[in-house]
Structure 1
């Protein structure tokens, strides 16, 4: 964590609130969660706490401590165990995505687990998440960002074809942030709000902030197969996915001529790689994704 006056003050408030909650709810655990637990805070940040109880308790609600709002959410231990179960394994196939839907619906809760920093906890209790569960969280979160990117790419296709170029420009800007989120997740960061991207993008840099990388100026009028302006989206998402699913397979021949129009994006499920555009999915081998990635990288440099 990078110490700031706002961060240090809020960590002190969190400790104070946790001690009071521990007295009020005997046997409960209190976790600091969210951006603050990752060392991110601004001058008006709230403090988010998770109160873990064995039995159901009424929601404690919010409280003010030294003028700082503390939001407390109460959940039962069994609920937290259910969340952990979703992080036992990354299991989603092109023919069975029910688990993926369940995980995406609970992704904000899983992010609480990923960021959780115990403030009060039983001495014999282990880590909030095991390393394998943290790795599974990364894969679910990255798969989620790729799904969002694919949905935005589908919007771009429709808007460009309809000549709604100002609308497409707005979606293009949103896609830039989603791609940046995918890169931060692949680098090990939790999936936090977009406002924290400059800090998350620079977590390995000497500089405290790094702007969200801009995408090239789109050329909607001339958008066609293998459009160079879309290639950076493709190669950056492929690079992020290959960070979590590395392969040393040799590149294999792959006929891209069958991929008409721009908008194709990569995804990785537990049953392998595929390219997606709208509802169309084209399965790829490890060697073919290497070839496709290299081709996208060449287009991005043009």
Structure 2
């Protein structure tokens, strides 16, 4: 990330607060978490710290350091262990999504692990997550964004059918942010707030930021058909998923007329691909998802 003028100041405050907490809580570890740990900050950014102790204890709450708010969340080592366990594997299946609901409810906590940087002297600075856990986080976070996109698509279909076009416009704007988040997660970024998307979307150090890509102008009267403007969403979501689950399977025939229309979006669970619209889910093979993605790309260009 390109450092902002305030990044060094915020990091110094984090180090100062970490040292003070290490003195207050002997044997505790202190981790910097959140956007600041990813090198993202503005002049008034809070500093978020995790205080990890052997036994649960009341949190020290917030404090001011040089006029900057430092939020301290205290968690036990067993709680952190439980979070890590959720990242042991990406295990959601189409027939049993209870685990997915559990992980989605804790995704904010898992994002803290994904962004965490040790600040206290013990243990030595090291990655908080091993590569396999980081990969599992990436898949859970992308599945979450695909689920959010599918929910918004369902709303769009209902709003368009009801003629509530101004309402649909608002949801369409929300969908643009969710799709961009899916793309940043697929590229390896943690799932942070939408305000950081321009920085997370940047491709290399030559760019300070990249604006969130706009979705095509919607034409709600055609939403019941295979709409080229929605096909752009289908392509971007499919591309994000294929970045984490690449396949060189030969394209296989797929019912484009029935599965390529407005509202259908892809998802990938541990037991394979499927398309979803509302409560309808249609399993696909690797070859069929490739054919579906190519078909959506053709429609997006029309």
Give the TM-score, by structure 2 length.
Answer: 0.98
C-alpha distance in 2 between matches for 1:96 and 1:9 = 47
Q: Which residue of 2 aligns with 1:80?
A: 80
Give deviations 1:180-221, integer Å, cap 9, x for gaps.
Answer: 000000000000000000000004351111110000110101
Contact 1:114 / 1:190 at 8 angstroms: preserved in 2? Answer: yes
Asked if 1:134 corresponds to 2:134, the answer is: yes
SS at match of 1:5: coil
Per-residue deviation at 1:124?
Answer: 6.6
Task: Give the direction of change, closer, same or farther, for the CA distance of 1:301–1:281 in structure 2 (3 Å limit).
Answer: same
Q: Which residue of 1 aligns with 2:36?
A: 36
C-alpha distance in 2 between matches for 1:84 and 1:240 = 25
Q: Which residue of 2 aligns with 1:296?
A: 296
Q: Which residue of 1 aligns with 2:168?
A: 168
Q: Which residue of 2 aligns with 1:280?
A: 280
Contact 1:225 / 1:259 at 8 angstroms: preserved in 2? Answer: no
Task: Give the direction of change, closer, same or farther, for the CA distance of 1:155–1:123 in structure 2 (3 Å limit).
Answer: closer
C-alpha distance in 2 between matches for 1:171 and 1:125 = 42
C-alpha distance in 1 between matches for 2:19 and 2:33 = 16
SS at match of 1:120: coil
Per-residue deviation at 1:289?
Answer: 0.2
Per-residue deviation at 1:4?
Answer: 2.6
Matching of residues 152-163 of structure 1 within 5 Å: 152-163=152-163
Contact 2:118 / 2:125 at 8 angstroms: preserved in 1? Answer: no
Deviates more, 1:197-206 or 1:100-109: 197-206
SS at match of 1:134: helix
Q: Which residue of 2 aligns with 1:270?
A: 270
The CA RMSD over aligned residues, in Å, is 1.2
Matching of residues 144-155 of structure 1 within 5 Å: 144-155=144-155
Contact 2:260 / 2:296 at 8 angstroms: preserved in 1? Answer: no
Aligned residues: 302
Q: Which residue of 1 aligns with 2:98?
A: 98
SS at match of 2:6: helix
Give deviations 1:84-127, integer Å, cap 9, x for gaps.
Answer: 00000000111000100000000000000000010015247863
Q: Which residue of 2 aligns with 1:55?
A: 55
Matching of residues 252-263 of structure 1 within 5 Å: 252-259=252-259, 261-263=261-263
Q: Which residue of 2 aligns with 1:189?
A: 189
Per-residue deviation at 1:257?
Answer: 1.9
Q: Which residue of 2 aligns with 1:67?
A: 67
C-alpha distance in 2 between matches for 1:126 and 1:4 = 24
C-alpha distance in 1 between matches for 2:293 and 2:162 = 29
SS at match of 1:212: coil
Contact 1:2 / 1:39 at 8 angstroms: preserved in 2? Answer: yes
Contact 2:154 / 2:263 at 8 angstroms: preserved in 1? Answer: yes
Contact 2:272 / 2:283 at 8 angstroms: preserved in 1? Answer: yes
C-alpha distance in 2 between matches for 1:148 and 1:52 = 31
C-alpha distance in 1 between matches for 2:2 and 2:259 = 46
Give the TM-score, by structure 1 length.
Answer: 0.98
Deviates more, 1:152-161 or 1:204-213: 204-213
SS at match of 2:199: helix
Q: Which residue of 2 aligns with 1:212?
A: 212
